[in-house]
A and B are shown apart, each in its own frame.
Chain A
Amino acid sequence: MGEELKVIVFALAHEEYGIEVEKVRTIERMMPMTRVPKTPEFIKGVINLRGVVVPVIDLRGRFGFAEAEYTDNTRIIIVAVGDIEVGMIVDSANDVIDVDSDAIENPPEIVGGIKAKYLRGIAKIADDRLLILLNLSEVLNKSEIIQLEHLEE
């Protein structure tokens, strides 16, 4: 047995993803957002999270998936990596589970169209259940966002 890893499980475009629970501040329902002009499309704006202004990104947009309508299940997962705090819009947040670190395998090159560098690994948690663990610091990497901005121009 390796170390136990507690992860929050959420759904995005028919896949199940996980992020370490220590990186998650809270999970919120959708709330009104203020658009921030001149930012990439996937940055949906900023919210008032109990007096703190937090930017929110659409994770589908971030990974280049087709964006979906927000529903009652849509959640904003507020994560903190280093001194960066960001909300991520996901289709739904379902579960908290323990993953054995031995069960985590290196990601294959392509999983559902996401670049491998965004992924920390794939965990097999049941016979037919695969959990994609996200590499948050890459997902929130800013230098890449700057590149994206240039592309849009």
Chain B
Amino acid sequence: MELNQYLSMFIDESRDHLQAMNENLLSLESSPQDISIVQNIFRSAHTLKGMSATMGFEDLASLTHEMENVLDLVRNHKTEMNPFIFDCLFKSLDSLESMVDDIIQGGTGKADVRDIVAALKSIVTGDYAKGGAAAAAPAAQAAAGKTADLDEFQISVISQSIEGGHMVFHVDVAVRDDCVLKAARAYMVFDVLERNGEVIKATPPVEDIEQEKFEKSFSVYYISQLNQADLEKQIGSVSEIETVKVVPITEQYLADMQKAQAPAAAETAAASAAAPATSEPAAAKKDAAPAKAAGQGAPVANRTIRVDIERLDALMNLFSELLIDRVRLEQLASEIRRNDLIETVEHMTRVSSDLQSIVMKLRMVPVDTVFNRFPRMVRDVAKTLDKKIDLVITGADTELDRTVVDEIGDPLVHLLRNSVDHGVEPPADRIAAGKPETGSVWLRAFHSGNHVFIEIEDDGRGINREKVLKTAVKNGVVTQDQAPKLADEEVYQLLFASGFSTADKISDISGRGVGLDVVKTKIESLGGRVHVQSQLGRGTKFSVQLPLTLSIISAMLVRLGPEKYAIPLSSIVETAAVKQDQIRQVHGNKMVNFRSSVIPLVDTAQVFDVPQSAEARESSAEMQMVVIRKGEKLAALTVDEFIGQQEIVLKSLGKYLTNLFAISGATILGDGQVALIVDTNALIK
């Protein structure tokens, strides 16, 4: 069988299954008793196993097989989910994901999964829990003290190895006081160890040992085929070693150690027992969600087809040609003035605008393809940071152009991490501040006009204006004089300045700003904007505004002297006429009254150096103006004539003309002429 032709299908489907498993596992974590979720995960794992085996990806298949065994026990009520099993399953998913990624990169999907498989197996045999069950055995204080630093995973590996007939030792090595190169000696010891077995854990960590960050002794947990005496002899043969103490580890030893850990475990259990009280509504919500997903999931799966994005792009390009011709035809028809021609063109116009909206919709995908990876990410980050965070996602069905969706993931990851890492305080701080222990992060998406907004809001500590300013002044982003004059929003925008990305002391500005300049650049390259709102002690909101699509926009065509320009409708507030005597001079700048506020008047023709335009305009009593908006700020652009509103196809100006002032691109008009698109943002200071 020629497998290559099925490879892309395999990749797509295995990604879907992995995503489904990830989601289900997360919802199972909040309602561990729900066996129906386990069933879903099991089914996905089973399908994935079958697919991988057929495609010849043995490692994938064997790992999913082990996961299946674990899940099978759970769904048959032979064991219950617990944090250890969750962690193992999540780790397995991570490995599966990296294997699939490897396959996508053209690799073979092979990976070393022995550790995870061992851990999964220990769940099936129940060994990982044995230590805990046997905790009643008499405690050996010394042993317990030493082993307390092993985590559950390492314990399960050790207990597996003992069962498999391997010897497990706790090796304590002390170097002599007069040893000159401690790190080199340690390296030699590790060399001996690694030749004969496997190091499970080193205290202090290996990296520290390599950098000589240990006093006199270090210890390792070690699996080997050697016996105790041989091992002692081999390590002892390294010079400048003072003592070598090798203690064999037995099941009993492990049990004692688990007992020592029990109080700590009880603490975590108590903490997690407290959690359900607050997460009850969330769990209820999540219960509702899968039902809905299942409801729509089934029919959709049968009614959609996957289309190569390049084909859609080709369709889009052809269609934009058609639009240009349509405008041309409209023009010709109005010149020729033959009724049947005009009617035909009008009909064609209607059909093509319907066609346009369909083509546009083809490229629209719900943002949830991006959002669905966030719950897992937030869970992991929160777990490593020891924080409790409730991620609330709304509007995941909001649709955006495929190209935007593809690009927006990374900036959002950055902003979310930022909120989790620096926004939400650790539980203790939250309680001290009188907030609920569990922090909330809201991720919202919604349509508004021609834009999609994505908001990331947290109820954390907020941004400290003064600290941001201090860092900004120190980094030379603003001067000392400017600093006090800035509005809050302007101060927060400083976080996105590139000077902040290299901020050395993360804590200086509560960490905000690390890499945020990248976020801003990315979003702006998509034609979007980021706003920040914050209240000290109450939380922060990042609001990302994105265009619905990148290729066709509505614009107002205007004439400046002999030239035509397009102004995107999305930035126009309104058009108006202004009399010469209404123009005022303020500090040498022309200003004009607009709805009870005074806004600057930009002489567009002058800005663009348009020839033979100035005199003609000065003499006329009335001028046309376009009022544009950038955020809260308004400005009026003078124009000579409004030509009309049109759908225009965005064209790039190519790589040769870059960094143009106030020009964001070009479009081709009905008469074949090129018109430049005005970047209104650049015209408002």
Give the interface of A toward B (CB within 8 A): 32-39, 43, 45-48, 51-55, 82-86, 140, 142
A36 & B656 in contact (Cβ 8 Å cutoff): no
A86 to B655, CA, bound (A): 9
In angstroms, how far is the closest chain B Cβ from the Cβ of A147? 13
Give the interface of B toward A (CB within 8 A): 320-321, 324, 563, 607-610, 651-658, 660-663, 666, 668, 672-676
B652 & A53 in contact (Cβ 8 Å cutoff): yes
- Known contacts A39-B657, A142-B658; 14 further A-B pairs (Cβ under 8 A): A34-B563, A34-B676, A36-B660, A37-B662, A37-B676, A38-B608, A38-B661, A39-B660, A47-B674, A48-B668, A53-B674, A85-B654, A85-B655, A86-B654
Residues of chain B within 8 A (CB-CB) of A32 are 672-673
Residues of chain A within 8 A (CB-CB) of B661 are 37-38
A137 to B660, CA, bound (A): 21
A53 & B654 in contact (Cβ 8 Å cutoff): yes
A53 & B651 in contact (Cβ 8 Å cutoff): yes
B657 & A51 in contact (Cβ 8 Å cutoff): no
Interface of B is mostly: loop
In angstroms, how far is the closest chain B Cβ from the Cβ of A84? 5
A34 to B662, CA, bound (A): 15
A36 & B673 in contact (Cβ 8 Å cutoff): no
A151 to B449, CA, bound (A): 43
B660 & A38 in contact (Cβ 8 Å cutoff): yes
A51 & B321 in contact (Cβ 8 Å cutoff): yes
A140 & B656 in contact (Cβ 8 Å cutoff): yes
A53 to B664, CA, bound (A): 13
B563 & A35 in contact (Cβ 8 Å cutoff): yes
B663 & A46 in contact (Cβ 8 Å cutoff): no
In angstroms, how far is the closest chain B Cβ from the Cβ of A25? 13
Known: A53-B651, A53-B674. A34 touches B666 (CB 8 A): yes
Residues of chain B within 8 A (CB-CB) of A82 are 655
10 shortest interchain CB distances as A-B pairs:
A37-B608, A34-B674, A38-B661, A53-B651, A53-B666, A84-B655, A84-B656, A55-B656, A55-B657, A48-B668
Q: Which of A36, A43, A54, A86 contacts B676 (CB 8 A)?
A: A36
B672 & A142 in contact (Cβ 8 Å cutoff): no
Q: Which of A34, A35, A45, A142 contacts B656 (CB 8 A)?
A: A142
In angstroms, how far is the closest chain B Cβ from the Cβ of A38? 4
A83 to B653, CA, bound (A): 12
Residues of chain B within 8 A (CB-CB) of A48 are 668, 672-674
A135 to B607, CA, bound (A): 35
Question: Can you report 10 residue pairs joining A to B where beta carbons are below 8 Å apart?
Answer: A33-B674, A34-B563, A34-B675, A36-B653, A43-B657, A53-B654, A53-B666, A53-B674, A54-B654, A84-B654
A83 to B666, CA, bound (A): 18
Residues of chain B within 8 A (CB-CB) of A38 are 608-609, 660-663
A34 & B658 in contact (Cβ 8 Å cutoff): no
A43 to B656, CA, bound (A): 10
B653 & A46 in contact (Cβ 8 Å cutoff): yes
